[in-house]
Structure 1
Amino acid sequence: MVIPAHPRVARLVVCLLASACLLAASGNPCRAGDVKAGRAKALICQACHGLDGLSKTPDAPNIAGQTEPYLITQLQAFKSGGRKNDAMSVVVPSLSDKDIEDLAAYFSAIEISIGKLPGQ
């Protein structure tokens, strides 16, 4: 890595690198959305995905604990028509970009644990 010769620029580069390291070490993922707002909006999802993100119908996937970027990408794909599903085509068009981010933040924040593995 080349360090800029000007002391101010060099300090700025060091501060940015230190900030990035602290953020990475914090273990707290950056969230685009608001978890509380997502929980309120998730009421429209509960018939299929449940408020807990665990499928209530055979055709709906479990979405609890999925990563936020993945959920955002999938919701945007449904909204744009790149991904198709009859139920989602009814719900997603009314979602704003902020709603999508909030829902993704909420469902990704749900912690999943395994109680017992099969065969144990």
Structure 2
Amino acid sequence: MKKLSLAMLLSMLAIPVSAADIDAGKAKSGMCAACHGGAGISAVPMYPNLAGQKAMYLTKQLKDFKSGKRQDPTMKGMSMALSDSDIANVSAYYASLK
């Protein structure tokens, strides 16, 4: 029973990621590339690498920048230009990169 419950919980957590459109995220990621690199690997150490990060983590960070919960003037501006769907798609795209 515990295994079934755990499997159901994990599958529910995966739903938002699988609903995201990786191709749309790639198309929208151009605005991220200047700082985070075209493939999500930054050439500048002060900017974090996005490639391979978990989609849920990236989604949370972008939503926190957008809401003001996390403060950074550059990321605030970038995140304000993204819809919730865009955030999910961009997050899925970077999570898909290795």
**Paired residue for 1:42, among 19, 24, 29?**
29
Using the size of structure 1 for normalisation, the TM-score is 0.66
Equivalences, count: 89
Counterpart residue identity of residue 33, structure 1: A
Using the size of structure 2 for normalisation, the TM-score is 0.80
How far did residue 51 of structure 1 move? 1.8
1:52-82 Cα deviation digits (max 9, x unpaired):
1111333210111000101100100000001
**Paired residue for 1:82, among 69, 72, 75?**
69
How far did residue 39 of structure 1 move? 0.3
Structure 1 runs not aligned, ≥5 long: 2-16, 25-29, 112-120
Identity fraction in percent: 45
User: Which structure carries more relative contact order (alpha carbon 8 Å, separation 6+)?
Assistant: 2
Cα RMSD over matched residues?
2.2
